[in-house]
Amino acid sequence: MQGKQRKTTLRRLLWYGLCLSLLLWAIWSGFFTLDPRLAAIKEEMAFLLKRNAISPAELQWALEQVEKRNLEEVEAFLAERIALVQQQQAQTRSQPRP
């Protein structure tokens, strides 16, 4: 009977360990974000990075501002950049193709 209890206890500990490690991974990877503004900033940075619309120095500045919790400045900067990218995309679409 003790062998069965040890086996059950071991399975339970492995299960809890797996759940805890998945939760920690999700938090570490940014899957869960405590502040929805940070999640929006992350998405906006990814949008700009995919389009090469932000320089490494600007990205570093934005990350430093996020660390300092100057989220309003970062949000304004990213919104300005995204508007510029969208404007350029609209101009590119409206030009006739040869």
Between residues 1 and 23, which one has the greater pLDDT? 23
Same domain, 24 and 39: no
Confirm if 33 and 42 have CB atoms less than 8 A apart: yes
Same domain, 58 and 11: no
Q: Which of these, 13, 80, 20, 89, lies nearest to 51 by C-alpha position?
A: 89
Q: Report the domain count for the chain.
A: 2
Confirm if 49 and 15 have CB atoms less than 8 A apart: no
For 45-68, how does the pLDDT look when each residue is reduced to its tens digit (9 = 90+)? Answer: 989 988 888 888 898 898 888 888
Domain, as residue range, for 78 = 33-98
For 67-98, how does the pLDDT look when each residue is reduced to its tens digit (9 = 90+)? Answer: 888 889 999 999 999 999 999 988 888 877 66
Same domain, 74 and 97: yes
- The reply to whether the predicted model has a pTM over 0.75 is no
17 CB-near residues (< 8 Å, 6+ apart): none
49 CB-near residues (< 8 Å, 6+ apart): 59
**What is the rounded distance in angstroms from the CA atom of residue 92 to the CA atom of residue 55?**
21
- For residue 60, report the phi and psi dihedrals to the nearest 5 degrees: -60, -45
Same domain, 12 and 41: no
